[in-house]
Amino acid sequence: MSALVSPEQLLSDLGDTPPLLLDVRWTLAGRDRAAYLAGHLPGAVFCDLDADLAAPPGAGGRHPLPSRDELAGAMERLGVRPGRRVVVYDGGVAAAAARAWWCLRWLGHEDVRVLDGGLPAWVAAGGQLEAGGTTTAGDQPAREVTTTAGDGAAQAAAPSSSMPTVTAEDLLPYDGVLLDARAAERFRGEVEPVDPVAGHVPGARSLPTSRLLDADGRYLSPAELRDLLAAAGTDTGRPLAAYCGSGVTAAQLVLAAHEAGLDAALYPGSWSHWITDPARPVATGTD
């Protein structure tokens, strides 16, 4: 099943049993709750990427994965329940929504899709917005929803083998194709606006996530994504893995691979974790 849902499909799907909508708007400066309060899809609940989809920054990188229990608890508070459909969206860049999709799939929640094109595509398709906070079941504030132990996502889901991960040790060296999702100039080590060391993991190949989207901010077709990934060397039958700066945008490469019919592992700590050990090699320049 596709990991994407078009705004047109979602508009027709908001009937008596609509999916749970998670607004995951986020920038490198942090969560974008102000934008959520200014206008979001009707009924959407705000999901804080930094607090809900990541553990505190530290030795594991800037956005290390939370523990399974921590992630499940956060998803329960937001209204995720076994069997409930979930649609995640962001401001159109697609990275934060892909991270939410990956995390829910990793947790074992299969029925989750990304709104293709995010909020801008929703508005362009004629979708309405509502302002202010919203509520979940029980009419409690979205960020204050409580659950009864044993009735939510944590009890129903186990980490999914369909969402594999790799570690730094797996990449020394990696017997597969490793894709770097960052901008090409960061990959080459010409600039590094976020992390203290510039460059890339030796052997990695550059595939910026900007190339996954069309001019309207929607994902390319599965055939186009297959061609793009093949050009990056993924047609060799070898394992495929992806990383970025901190494990957020790399989820877009995993999603793109999924749409293209490929399985890709995620390096959760990504570059921000790789450089915590000065003994790990750093490469610069082209592939």
Instruction: Give the residue numbers marked as catalytic.
Output: 244
Phi/psi region, residue 8 (left: phi>0; alpha: psi -120 to 50; beta: rest), is alpha
Residue 140: strand pairing partners = 136
Q: How far apart are the first and last CA of the chain?
A: 33
* Residue in this structure with the two tokens 């959407």, named with its chain if needed: 44
Return d(Cα 16, Cα 123) in angstroms, integer.
22
Q: Supply 249's token pair.
A: 């945008």
Give yes or no for a contact between 66 and 2, defined as CB atoms under 8 angstroms apart. Answer: no
Residue 194 is inside which H or E element, if any? none
Instruction: Give exposure, 171-210, as e/b (b: 16+ Cβ within 10 Å).
Output: beebebbbbbbbbeebbbeeebeebeebbbbebbbbbbbe
Spatial distance between the Cα atoms of 57 and 16, rounded to a whole number of angstroms: 40
